Amino acid sequence: MGPQNNPYQSQKAVIQKIIPETSGIKTFVVQPESGFSFHCGQFAELSVPGIGEAPFAMSSPCFKSEQLEFTIQNVGYMTSRLHAMKEGDIVGIRGPYGNGFPLDDFYGKEVLLLIGGVGFPPARTLIYSLLNEKNKFKRIILCYGARTPEDVVYKYQVEDFRKKIELYMTVDKADKNWRESEGVVTVLLDKVKVDLKNSAAVVIGPPIMMKFGTFKLLEVGYQPKDIYLSMERKMYCGIGQCRHCMIDHYFICKDGPVFTYEQLKNFPNIWE
Amino acid sequence: MEKYMILAPQKENGGLFMQPVIQDNVAHIVYDEARAAQPLKTFLLPPLDEVVGKKVQAEKPWLFLGIKACGLAALPILDQAFGGDFTDPIYQKRREESFIVSSDCTQPWETCFCTLVGGQPYPVKGFDLNLSKVWDGFVIEVGSLRGKTLLEGHDEVLKEVVREEATALEKMRNETTKKVEEQNRDFKFEKRHREVVSGNWESEVWERHSETCVECGACNHACPTCHCYFLDDVTRKTFVKLRGWDSCMYSGYAVTAGGGTPRPRLYERFRNRYFCKFKYLDDNYGMYGCTGCGRCIEGCQGKIDMRQALKDLVKN
Ligand SMILES: Cc1cc2nc3c(=O)[nH]c(=O)nc-3n(C[C@H](O)[C@H](O)[C@H](O)COP(=O)(O)OP(=O)(O)OC[C@H]3O[C@@H](n4cnc5c(N)ncnc54)[C@H](O)[C@@H]3O)c2cc1C
Ligand code: SF4
Ligand code: SF4
């Protein structure tokens, strides 16, 4: 029984670089021992050997399989150990898991990304994929919200993104150097005019933000089938067995993490 | 036979427990009567198992004796959950190599209710051999090629079943079935379980019936189809990954790093268990997650009876 047919077995990956993003968020550039191809929007189970394992979205371009990036917030047991690691250290990785974004659905459309906080990692992968075939999409609009200017991730890429896509940013609490909007991320939707008949919206972020983001999009006139949500729940296996991540009968890890609001709208408690 | 680790139901303090069979307890094997306390998952997916790091090849395969119909009925769920897109090679090996000798029930427990969920107290599929005690011998039904092979070369102890024996077997099966039906007379309803449960998201039944629950998780752990698990990375001598039984009744079951959970209240977790059994598993694997074995009723510290809860939902 080799690791390739044991779904619980991780392969080794070397941390090549650690990029500090904010006081609690770091981007880890890792190189898996034997490559790792994935589709944008999928995720992996990363492990700190002997400590624990947790699901994280890849934040690097999906057309690069030899080197991956993960942008990870320090929130608890496993992530704090990960944050204490150094370049050259070894982590475990298994996957990729989940369905990823249905890029075909977005062809010819105005794609609006409504992103909050640490929801940016999978969104960045999506942006890379969209830019990779830029002429296939009518517009690419990113509305990003963070708590404070310090909490903005990928600050070093903001100017580059601004040249390539329509970028709107907001923070809940601005400081005197902040030149963008202030307020929760949904305020940005008042600034963007989209062709509702030909647009798809993608929502990723903390549960509350996703809830109010989705409601705002509905209010603006989006159809539930045109709103794409990348969902998060407690998860152990990532492979549709342990049943922790279920929303009704859906496995977020296998049937998701990307769902349309149409698929989920009739289930209670989807935002918790 | 030395190829196998043999497990069979044996009496202890009025209960039946799956115990290893050794030379001197062969006489104490209880083939008939009713299901044993431990479900088959105890052996195929042990409570704490090394899923990375273990040399599973070294394990001897199981030979199970005296498994009842409600035990066999649970296996297709585990087979689908641990097979499919991401096959668990450890489960698969244990499952493929284990040999199942089932038996008819003759004295169902008070908590047994297989007939309410589409089952019957005698095995019809899923076994290698089935033994039905008739008079002073057994009627043997062959359920697989392996079962057939095992019988080959034992003609000296085998003979064709005669009509009288077949009739006696049928009579015995009917009687046991009647007994199960009779003891569940008050819990019977016509509506499909799926509709009863999914039509009752909002119901006072969930709160009322979960009032005495102490969140021990026995209902999950005793159940032959419940298979939620957690994974844990630990360093023993070398690095291992453990898989352990979890319980959806525990408050921490679905808690994420921020402290959020979709089911903070006990009655919500209680309701979720019923929805899982009669809706979600049906959607996932095309079958209910309940075989009517009655273990969750027997093991419940709060004396909660699933049959009564379901019946009360129907009344609503
Ligand atoms: C599909 C998916 C993609 C994700 N992508 C990212 C990402 O790109 N960046 C990022 O910072 N975070 C991401 N998360 C959240 C991340 O998995 C949790 O922050 C992480 O599990 C916390 O682990 P911990 O041990 O530090 O926290 P603890 O609170 O100590 O958690 C203990 C255990 O609970 C589980 N757990 C806790 N919180 C979560 C959670 N929110 N989601 C799932 N399981 C949880 C884990 O199994 C963990 O081992 C993602 C979650 C999912 C489901
Ligand atoms: S839910 Fe209860 S009665 Fe049904 S199979 Fe599980 S333990 Fe047995
Ligand atoms: S066995 Fe009974 S008391 Fe224990 S968790 Fe289940 S319902 Fe609650």
Q: Are residues A198 and A229 in the same domain?
A: yes
pLDDT for A50:
86
Residue A269: inside a domain: no
Q: Nearest by CB to B88, which of A7, A53, A272?
A: A7
Cβ-based contacts of B52 with chain A (< 8 Å): 6, 8-10
pLDDT digits (tens, 9 = 90+) for A154-206: 999 999 999 999 999 999 998 998 888 888 988 898 888 989 999 999 999 99
Candidate from B213, B271, B277, B310 with most ligand 3 atoms within 8 A of CB, to mutate: B213
Are the beta carbons of B280 and A50 separated by less than 8 Å? no
Which amino acid residue places its CA nearest to atom 50 of ligand 1? A56
CB contacts, 8 Å: B85 with chain A? 239-240, 254
Ligand 2 midpoint to CA B223 (Å):
5
Would the pLDDT of A3 be above 70?
Answer: no
Total number of domains constituting chain A? 2
Residue A6 lies in a domain: no
Same domain membership, residue A67 and residue A53: yes
Report yes or no on A272 lying in a domain. no
Q: Of A72, A97, A122, which one is at a domain's C-terminal end?
A: A97
A75·B85 Cβ contact <8 A:
no
Q: Is the CB of residue A47 less than 8 Å away from at least one CB of chain B?
A: yes
Q: For atom 8 of ligand 2, which residue has the closest CA?
A: B293
A81 located within any domain = yes
* Residues present in chain B in total: 316
Same domain, A147 and A259: yes
Q: In 3D, which of A186, A157, A152 has the Cα closest to residue A22?
A: A152
Residue type, B297: I
For B258, which residue in chain A has the nearest alpha carbon? Answer: A75
Pocket probe for ligand 2: among B115, B223, B310, the residue whose CB has the most ligand atoms within 8 Å is B223
Q: State whether A47 and B233 contact (CB < 8 Å).
A: yes
Instruction: Determine whether the interchain pair A49/B52 forms a contact, defined as Cβ–Cβ distance below 8 Å.
Output: no
Q: Residues of A with CB below 8 A from B248's CB?
A: 243
Calculate how far, in angstroms, residue B228's C-alpha sits from the geometric centre of ligand 2.
Answer: 14
Residue B277 burial (10 A CB sphere; 0-12, 13-18, 19+)? buried
Q: CB count, 10 Å around CB of A266?
A: 9
CATH number at residue A217: 3.40.50.80
Name the residue type at position A132. Answer: N
CA atoms within 13 A on the CB side of B8: 19
CB nearest A8 (choices: B52, B84, B227): B52
- Whether A239 is in a domain gets the answer no
- List, for residues B145-190, the tens digit of each pLDDT value: 999 999 998 888 899 999 999 999 999 999 999 999 999 999 999 9
Q: Shortest Cα distance from A62 to chain B (angstroms)?
A: 22
The answer for B 64-123 residues in CB contact with A (under 8 A) is 81-82, 84-90
Domain-located, residue A218: yes
| Minimal Cβ distance to B229: which of A5, A7, A242 | A242
How many whole angstroms separate alpha carbon A168 and alpha carbon A19? Answer: 24
Whether A243 has its CB under 8 Å from any CB of chain B: the answer is: yes
Whether residue A147 sits in one domain with residue A126: yes
Asked if A206 and A190 count as a contact pair (C-beta separation under 8 A), the reply is: no
d(CA A217, CA A186): 9
B261 and A272: CB-CB below 8 Å?
yes
Q: How confident is the model over A66-83, as a mean pLDDT? A: 94
CA distances A137 to A98, A109, A142, B74, B87, Å, are 24, 5, 14, 49, 38
ipTM for the predicted complex:
0.92
Which of A9, A249, A267, A270 to substitute to test the interface with B, most B CBs within 10 Å? Answer: A249
Which of the residues in chain B have pLDDT under 70? Answer: 1, 55-57
Do A66 and A171 have their domain in common?
A: no
Q: What is the pLDDT of residue A241?
A: 96
CATH number at residue A39: 2.40.30.10
Clarify whether residues A46 and A119 are in a common domain.
Answer: no
For residues B3 and A9, what is the distance between their CA atoms, to the nearest angstrom?
29
Residues whose beta carbon lies within 6 Å of some atom of ligand 2: B 222-225, 277, 290-296, 306
Domain end among A78, A97, A116: A97
Residue nearest (by alpha carbon) to ligand 3 atom 4? B216
Question: B233 to chain A: which residues are within 8 Å by CB?
Answer: 47-53
Q: At what angle do helices B266-275 and B306-315 cross, to 10 degrees?
A: 90
Strand arrangement, sheet containing A258-260: A181-182, A166-171, A139-146, A110-116, A199-204, A227-230, A258-260
Each domain of chain B, given as residue ranges in start order, spans 5-187, 193-315
Pocket perturbation via mutation, ligand 3, pick of B265, B298, B304 by most ligand atoms within 8 A of CB: B304
A93 with A116, same domain?
A: no
Q: How many CB pairs under 8 A join A and B?
A: 101
A80 and A111 assigned to the same domain = no
AA identity, residue B260: G
Q: What's the CA-to-centroid distance between B307 and ligand 2, angstroms?
A: 10
Verify that A127 and A28 share a domain, yes or no: no
Ligand 1 midpoint to CA B185 (Å): 48
From the candidates A45, A239, A241, A242, which should be mutated to test the interface with B, based on the most B CB atoms within 10 A?
A241
Within-domain flag for A175? yes
Residues A109 and A227 placed together within one structural domain of the fold:
yes
Per CB-CB distance under 8 Å, the chain B contacts of A239 are: 85-86
Q: Does A269 lie at the interface with B, CB-CB under 8 angstroms?
A: yes
Tell whether the model's pLDDT for residue A1 goes beyond 70: no
- CA distance to partner chain A, nearest, from residue B128 (Å): 27
Q: Assess whether A260 and A161 both reside in one domain.
A: yes
Name the residue with the closest Cα to ligand 2, atom 6: B223
> Which of B196, B211, B210, B209 has its CA nearest to residue B316?
B196
Using an 8 Å CB-CB cutoff, list chain B residues near A93: none
> Which residue among A41, A67, A97 closes a domain?
A97
Asked if B83 and B90 touch (Cβ cutoff 8 Å), the reply is no
Same domain, A93 and A107: no
What is the extent of the structural domain holding A229?
103-234+253-264
SS3 A91: strand
Ligand 2 atom showing the smallest separation from residue B117 Cα: 4
Is A271 among the domain residues? no
Atom of ligand 3 nearest to the CA of B247: 5
pLDDT, position A2: 41
Give the residue-averaged pLDDT of A121-130: 95
